Structure 1
Amino acid sequence: MDSNEDSNAVREAFDIFHDSLLWVAGGALASQVPFWLQYAYGNFGARFHSIVVTPAAQRFVTMDALRPFASEGFFIDDWNSPMSPDHVRVIDEITDVVVYPATFKLIADLSSFASSTPLQLAVNGRDDRHIHLFSSLPPDAESTVAYEHFRRTFRDRSNVHLYDPMTGGSFVGDREGRPAVFFPRAIKTVAERRNP
């Protein structure tokens, strides 16, 4: 593939932003998301339709770092947020929900149809929007009975796609971590699923 073809492939992948919602959860990889959003916007003019941030994600990334990359809405996923009713409205306007990084807790909540936040209620109440969960897990969590349960649960939901993490570093001593795939790879995966 030459550089023009490669550039077009990247541009096409980032084209999914305009009608997708980015849900940033509380994993350490959340700190890298603004870099990738700046790259997509600076090179291709791509911005997500909306961005929703969990309260836990605010430990790793500031709201000001993410807000410019949402064309229609920016929300904190909390019932106390003044924007919480808009979470449900936004689901009507988008095609895909990209969860990056998808933490163990968020995956567990979605697999049990929890509705403890406005966006959980909105996405669990719909089967016509694709939800892409890019797992970012603690060491060894991928081999647990719980994670296997998540896999089985999501296999029964044709609109929920659980992507396994890659091998990487860990904040837990010298153990091997299981972070989500790199953000551009995640976006390319969503684009390929949408346009096979």
Structure 2
Amino acid sequence: MTDLAAPPQAPVLDIQRLVLVVTGSAAAAGMPFWVSWLRTQYPELQVTTVVTRSAQRFVTRAALAGRTHGEVLIDEWPPDEHRARHVELAEWAEAFVVYPATLHFIARLALGLADSPSLLAAQCSAVPIVIAPALPPGGMFSAAFRSHWSALATRDNIVLVAPQTGVSLTTGRPEAWAPPPLPEVLEHLAEHRLRLATPVVRTVPS
């Protein structure tokens, strides 16, 4: 559990625009704390938060909008809006972070589905996309998850962050899987960007 009195140290991100996708896990209930933390730790970082329909069972758009300077969008195409929201997200973002990422969202991303603005933007973007799963009991070792996880691992711009043991809200036992704290997830993003920026030194055989 996060110690609210001593927030974790924030890694250096070296980006200005982040799209944060919140999907329908119970872990989404903690997102008001994390968007507040982002605002405090990265005052210059512009964050657009995208909330999926299923995530709204656990966190409201209003709860997030009151804690961030950036936009909070629902992951749908508004019927009365003529903007191509997916294009705007893909062109604007310097990185995507899916936190928490449900098995359903991971499967759709791995299969190349693009039936929402965030998914279509992610499928068409070359910037880093960080995936931090939240899984129910048995989810971590299911054939479906392992297959989709392996498929995403082949994409150069996907950054996979392994979940940690969590307590199931249904059973009360430590058999679910939760995403690590957001600062740890962002550390993976920072490391990925550093690897991309580091030139490869090739030695010439003598």
TM-score, normalization: structure 2?
0.80
Aligned partners of 1:21 and 1:51 also within 8 Å = yes
Question: How far did residue 82 of structure 1 move?
Answer: 5.1
Distance (whole Å) between structure 1 residues aligned to residue 169 and residue 20 of structure 2:
25
Question: How far did residue 90 of structure 1 move?
Answer: 2.1
Q: What SS does the corresponding residue of 1:146 show, helix, strand or coil?
A: helix
Amino acid corresponding to residue 52 of structure 2 in structure 1: T
1:74 and 1:85, CA in 2 relative to 1: closer, same or farther beyond 3 A?
farther
Deviates more, 1:50-59 or 1:82-91: 82-91
* Structure 2, unaligned runs of 5 or more: 1-6, 196-206
* Structure 1, unaligned runs of 5 or more: 1-6
Aligned residue runs from structure 1 range 25-174, under 5 A: 25-45=23-43, 47-68=45-66, 71-80=69-78, 85-126=84-125, 128-174=126-172
Distance (whole Å) between structure 2 residues aligned to residue 130 and residue 91 of structure 1:
11
Question: How far did residue 34 of structure 1 move?
Answer: 1.1
Deviation by residue 1:80-137 (Cα, 9 ceiling, x = unmatched): 46567223212112111000000000000001011111221121123x1211110100
User: RMSD of aligned C-alpha atoms?
Assistant: 2.4
Amino acid corresponding to residue 12 of structure 1 in structure 2: V
Distance (whole Å) between structure 2 residues aligned to residue 121 and residue 21 of structure 1:
13
Deviation by residue 1:59-82 (Cα, 9 ceiling, x = unmatched): 111112222455553311113465
Aligned partners of 1:47 and 1:69 also within 8 Å = no
1:122 and 1:170, CA in 2 relative to 1: closer, same or farther beyond 3 A?
same
Question: How far did residue 186 of structure 1 move?
Answer: 1.3
Identity %: 30
Larger Cα-atom Rg? 2
Q: What SS does the corresponding residue of 2:71 show, helix, strand or coil?
A: strand
More helix by share: 1
Amino acid corresponding to residue 122 of structure 2 in structure 1: V
Distance (whole Å) between structure 2 residues aligned to residue 77 and residue 70 of structure 1:
17
Q: Which residue of 2 aligns with 1:10?
A: 10
Deviates more, 1:87-96 or 1:74-83: 74-83
Aligned partners of 2:22 and 2:99 also within 8 Å = yes
Alignment size in residue pairs:
187
Amino acid corresponding to residue 109 of structure 2 in structure 1: L
